[in-house]
Amino acid sequence: MILTVTLNAALDITYRVPRLQPHSTNRVTEVSERPGGKGLNVARVLTALGHRAVATGFAGGGTGDALRSLLAQETSVTDALVPVGGATRRTVAVVDESTGDTTQLNEPGPVVTPAEWDAFMSTYRELLTGAQAVALCGSLPPGVPVDVYARLTRAARTAGVPVLLDTSGEPLRRGLAARPDLAKPNADELAALTGSTEPLRAARDARRRGAHTVAASLGADGMLVVTTDGAWQAAPPRRIAGNPTGAGDSAVAGLLSGLVEDLPWPARLARAVALSAATVRAPAAGEFDRGTYEELLGRVTVTEHPVAA
């Protein structure tokens, strides 16, 4: 079983409009709702790859009830979300069908009380006992200390469970100090962390801050990984047009599945990059176009970088 943690889960609402016109009334042609948050997206992709995934985090209020009801319809993902008194946040995406551009509005999330946090930690430690790996994903809701990913990483390491950390800003900085097995920032998050815009240099810097391995998402240019044994960069054979929302989450699923299957790093990278590109062709985050994935998987280019001193 692979455990995913989404402390700031969301009900994702997508509006589609023929053309987005600011400062005007826009007629919505289609509305969709689905469980959201990085860890939930990762869990869905993992199950599509044939792995059992359990999703935990927080859910509360009417929005949380709606999220859990929708998640129950996705029978492949096991719901281990912890109830809270506050309402789960919503994210609203407005898709301009004339351009394909998406405008995103993200609410902050519920305030988590100390008692609710204690209940979550109890659930988390229990779930770790059956986990092959854990992914700590996304932003933090109000009331949760900024060092929580460091705490969750240490708890997983104590339980002997490999940890993947996918967050940004100060939670990423604090989390790295707890020595996760793998950190997966994107290029902008990596630059904000290290001050370097050169991905290989920045990834090596991030490793020195505590992560055993750093995998940096480079958008359409693929992914770079720096490990104790070397560094590799993978790129898709061609650019894929579509909506990139959730592409990074699919890459996390590829890395996690490769970890539990004990694939060599070039194969893990190829899977992560192919999944990420195939997600761009899918209608929503947490999904990927299987035909595109299978076409790209054997065509991803993986290049090894020289070992740095």
Residues annotated as catalytic are 249
Question: Crossing angle, helix 38-48 and helix 247-260, to 10 degrees?
Answer: 50
Measured between alpha carbons, how far is 18 from 21 in angstroms, rounded to an integer? Answer: 9
**Residue 215: closest CA among 236, 234, 239, 240:** 234
Measured between alpha carbons, how far is 179 from 182 in angstroms, rounded to an integer? Answer: 8
Q: Is 171 helix (H, G, I), strand (E, B) or coil?
A: helix
Measured between alpha carbons, how far is 36 from 64 in angstroms, rounded to an integer? Answer: 11
CA distances from 91 to 4, 56, 289 (A): 20, 19, 23
Q: Which residue is associated with the tokens 């990927």?
A: 288
Q: What is the DSSP string of 256-281?
A: HHHHHTT--HHHHHHHHHHHHHHHHT
Q: Which residue is associated with the tokens 């994107």?
A: 186
DSSP state of 219: G
Strand ranges in 42-76 using DSSP code E only, listed in sequence order: 53-60
Rg (CA), the chain: 19
CA distances from 152 to 40, 123, 156, 158, 182 (A): 17, 12, 6, 10, 14
Strand ranges in the chain using DSSP code E only, listed in sequence order: 2-6, 10-17, 30-36, 53-60, 77-84, 89-96, 102-106, 133-137, 163-166, 182-183, 213-217, 223-226, 231-235, 301-305
